């Protein structure tokens, strides 16, 4: 009897996984970019960055130079951060500040770029190139946004300097 229940439970779990995958596959293959945008944000906000990433990658090309382009770029950088791809996230956060310097999100992206550099910083006994980059990035952030509420958070420079 226990075997039957276990097999039934495994079957239901497998079916649920397949249904979830098929929905995502349909969205990825779809040509409805508004639906892709909506679902990518839903996945991102639910913390399912692995599903959001391919959608945002495609949307970055489609919505480039449109009103939604800025939001897609922002979410794409944050999705890279969510996946702990700190080198890529730092790059896209920095590119966001270059591509959209007047955006209200530019300050946050500049800070997050520096934060990614800090997260890439290794232990003290290893090559400290990323640590020096983090220190420089935080200093640039403080120089560019001296009135920012995030300046206090830049005290991580002290942690990097001690390495």
Domain ranges of the chain: 32-83, 93-163
Q: Given this model, what pLDDT does residue 145 score?
A: 86
Long-range contacts of 1-5 (CB under 8 A, 24+ apart): none
Contact in structure between 130 and 121 (CB atoms under 8 Å)? yes
For 42-51, what is each residue's pLDDT tens digit? 999 999 999 9
The model carries a pTM of: 0.77
Residues of the chain where predicted confidence (pLDDT) is lower than 70: 1-21, 122, 124-125, 127, 155-163
Count of alpha carbons within 13 Å of 7, Cβ hemisphere only? 4
């Amino acid at each position: 009897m226990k075997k039957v229940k276990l097999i039934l439970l495994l079957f239901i779990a497998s079916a649920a996984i397949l249904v979830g995958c098929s929905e995502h596959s349909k969205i990825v293959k779809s040509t409805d970019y508004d639906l892709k945008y909506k679902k990518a944000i839903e996945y991102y906000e639910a913390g399912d960055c692995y599903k959001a990433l391919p959608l945002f990658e495609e949307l970055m090309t489609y919505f480039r130079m449109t009103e939604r382009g800025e939001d897609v770029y922002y979410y794409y950088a944050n999705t890279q951060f969510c996946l702990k791809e700190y080198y890529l996230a730092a790059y896209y956060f920095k590119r966001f500040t270059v591509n959209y310097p007047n955006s209200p999100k530019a300050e946050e992206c500049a800070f997050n770029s520096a934060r990614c550099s800090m997260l890439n910083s290794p232990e003290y006994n290893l090559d400290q190139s990323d640590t020096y980059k983090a220190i420089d990035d935080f200093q640039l952030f403080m120089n560019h946004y001296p009135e920012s509420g995030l300046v206090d958070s830049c005290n991580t420079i002290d942690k990097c300097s001690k390495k």
